[in-house]
Amino acid sequence: MSDFTSGFWGPFIAIVTLISVIGCGVFLKVLSTRRLAPGEKPGTTGHVWDEDLAEYHNPMPRWWMWLFYITVVFSLIYLAIFPGLGSFAGVGDWNSQGKYEKEMADADKAYGPLFDKFLKQDLKAVAADAEGKQMGERLYLTYCSQCHGSDARGAKGFPNLTDNDWLYGGDAEIIKASITNGRSGMMPPMAAAVGGGDGTNEVANYVLSLSRRPHDAQLAAAGQAKFAVCAACHGPDGKGNPALGAPNLTDEVWLYGGSEKAIIETITKGRNGQMPAQRDALSEGKIHLLAAYVYGLSAKK
């Protein structure tokens, strides 16, 4: 019970728990000692409904009573062996953290050699290995599909992993670094920097023109000069910067949508994307297999 900040709560919880369990046994004993004599009618609890419907005060069946006694005894034995009485760890010294660590150790002993076999191989070789791809796919479905989808095609705000468009680069080692260390991409709100509402519309249309999407040519021409504040990240030609995770604005790939409305929203409100680091959650072997699998999704295209 490491969450306790005072030594008072451990004994307090233990005492209340024991009183509750033992009290159940005493209460059961009091209610089950007297038995009806032959021919004696049971009394009532005094509760009456519909004028003559009374609740009798009958003793519990003996088999039912013994089941309750067994429950009380079982509770005391359980609390003696396992944690449950405040800070008392139990004579069995069992805890969920220890159970988890044992299971992880057993799993590492059973599957560690298999992960080590692939860890010694180049990522591209693992991506081409049938067994490696199967293992990587299962790991992907377990740890990555919640965001990127079971088909790895992503969703709004979550990149498609099956194409060749990469915010930080699609090299196998870069993908492994992304999984290991995570990524944090942030575009600040830029409406004020480009001149407010009119400037935002002009820059949005210029961005649309970069990818040859339908746009207002007059607004795009006015937005070209204002795009200079965006060029610091996206480059003067709008082709992005993998070192910063700034996307290429000249292709047909849009993380948050490529309509005029979506682009205006992005410029106005900014975007904040977060890929959590997996180095503390997954072993190096699992990350290696995951990186190889993700690399293989787009390497052949």
Task: Go through the domains of the chain in sequence order and give each one's CATH number.
Answer: 9-81 (no CATH), 117-182+276-299 (1.10.760.10), 186-275 (1.10.760.10)
Mean pLDDT value across residues 202-222:
94
pLDDT at site 1 = 47
Mean pLDDT value across residues 158-166:
93
Question: pLDDT tens-digit profile of 263-298?
Answer: 999 999 999 989 999 999 999 999 999 999 999 998
300, pLDDT greater than 70 = no
pLDDT at site 5 = 66
pLDDT at site 2 = 54
Question: pLDDT tens-digit profile of 215-274?
Answer: 999 999 999 999 999 999 999 999 999 999 999 999 989 999 999 999 999 999 999 989
pLDDT at site 6 = 72
Three-class DSSP labels, the chain = CCCCCCCCHHHHHHHHHHHHHHHHHHHHHHHHCCCCCCCCCCCEEEEEECCCEEEECCCCCHHHHHHHHHHHHHHHHHHHHCCCECCECCCCCCCHHHHHHHHHHHHHHHHHHHHHHHHCCCHHHHHHCHHHHHHHHHHHHHHCHHHHCCCCCCECCECCCCCCCCCCCCCHHHHHHHHHHCEEEEECCCCHHHCHHHHHHHHHHHHHHHCCCCCCHHHHHHHHHHCHHHHHHHCCCCCCECCCCECCCCCCCCCCCCCHHHHHHHHHHCEEEEECCCCCCCCHHHHHHHHHHHHHHHHCC
pLDDT at site 97 = 84
pTM summary value = 0.70
91, pLDDT greater than 90 = no
pLDDT at site 192 = 92
pLDDT at site 20 = 94
pLDDT at site 112 = 86
Average pLDDT value over all residues in the chain: 89
